[in-house]
Structure 1
Amino acid sequence: MEITNATQADLSEILRIERLGFTVEEAGTKEQYQDRINKLSTTFLVARIDDQVAGFVVGPAIKEKYVEDWMYEKTPDNLSEGGNKIIFTIAVDPKYQGYSIGSKLLDAIKQNAFIHDRKTGKPNTL
C-alpha cells in the first residue's frame, strides 16, 4: 500500500468510494472534490493498492478548531504552517475494509500535522 497526496487523476475513484459510504444527500459533489483536491493538495491523502485508490482522508489545516457546516460547501484554504488539523472525511472502499487502511490514513495525516506544527484535538494525538 502507498499513501500519497490526492490528484485530479484520482477524482473518479474518490467519488466512487464517497458514494459507496455516504448517502446522496451527504456525499460531496464532483465540483466540491475538485476544489478540495486543488485547495487541500498537501492534506488530502489517498491510499493506493495496485494503483487503485482504496481509501482517502481529507484533513485540512485551518484557523477554526472544529469542522463547521459551511466548510463542506466552500472548501477553506489550507494554512501553510500551524493552525488546527481537522478531518472532513475518511472513507475506505468496502472491499478493502478490515485491512487497517483507515488507521494508516489517519496515521499519515497525523504525521503531516506534526511536521507542519498543527494542533489536533488532544496534544500529540489525532
Structure 2
Amino acid sequence: MTEYKIRQGNIEDAEALAAVEAECFPKAEAATAEEIRERLSVYPNHFLLLYRDGKLVGFIDGMTTEEKDLRDEMYEKASLHNEKGAWQMIFGLNTIPAFRRQGCAGRLIEAFKKQAREEGKKGIVLTCKDKLVHYYAEFGFVNEGVSGSTHGHVVWYQMRLTF
C-alpha cells in the first residue's frame, strides 16, 4: 500500500529540494540551492514536502505578504516575507516527472490551502504558464490575466484563490 507523508521544510532540505526543482523547471526558472536555502532560513514553515513511500517526490513553497500581487523580487529576496501577511504566495509546485499525474501536486495544493486557511490568510496567489491555468482552476484559483512577472523570460498568468 502506498504511503504519503507531508511535512514542513527545514534548512537541511535545501540540496534535495534544489535537485527536485532542477528536475521540474528550466534552468532560467528554477530556484538554486542557495535561493532555496535562503528561503528555508526565513520561512521553513511555508515549504511543504511530499514523500511517497519514503521518497521525496515533490514540494510546494512560497512566502506570505501583505502585497496582493506576486512580484519577481519576491523570488529573489526572502527578506520580503511577512509571517503575518494576508496573502500566501506560491513560488513553486514541484513534482518529479516520474510521479506526475498521480495526484501528488493536488495533495500539496490541498495541504497548502489548509495551512493558509488555518493561519487566517485571505487567500493564495500563484503564477503559472497558460497550459496550467485550467489545472489550478480545478482547485478554485481564478485567472486574473497576464502577470507583471517576467521570471525566466516567459509569460505568466496570475491566479488567486480567495477564502
Residues 37-69 of structure 1, C-alpha deviation per residue, up to 9 Å, x if partnerless?
Answer: 111111111101232211000132211112101
Identity %: 26
2:87 corresponds to: 84
Tell me how far 1:118 sits from its aligned partner.
0.1
Greater RCO between the two (CA within 8 Å, min separation 6)?
1
Given the two structures, how large is their TM-score scaled by the length of structure 1? 0.89
1:44 corresponds to: 47
Q: 1:4 aligns with which of 7, 16, 39?
A: 7
CA RMSD of aligned residues (A): 1.4
1:53 aligns with 2:46: no
2:95–2:105 Cα contact (<8 Å) kept = yes
For structure 2, the residue ranges without an aligned partner over 5 or more in a row are 124-159
1 CA distance for matches of 2:24 and 2:45?
Answer: 23
Higher strand share: 2
2:65 corresponds to: 62
1:40–1:77 Cα contact (<8 Å) kept = yes
Counterpart residue identity of residue 28, structure 2: E
Counterpart residue identity of residue 162, structure 2: P
Correspondences of 1:22-33 after superposition (within 5 Å) = 22-33=25-36
For structure 1, the residue ranges without an aligned partner over 5 or more in a row are none
Correspondences of 1:88-103 after superposition (within 5 Å) = 88-103=91-106
Given the two structures, how large is their TM-score scaled by the length of structure 2? 0.70
Tell me how far 1:9 sits from its aligned partner.
2.7
1:113 aligns with 2:152: no
1:35 corresponds to: 38
Tell me how far 1:13 sits from its aligned partner.
2.0
1 CA distance for matches of 2:68 and 2:110?
Answer: 20
Q: How many residues align?
A: 123
2 CA distance for matches of 1:77 and 1:99?
Answer: 32
Change (3 A) 1:95 1:69: same
2 CA distance for matches of 1:109 and 1:98?
Answer: 19
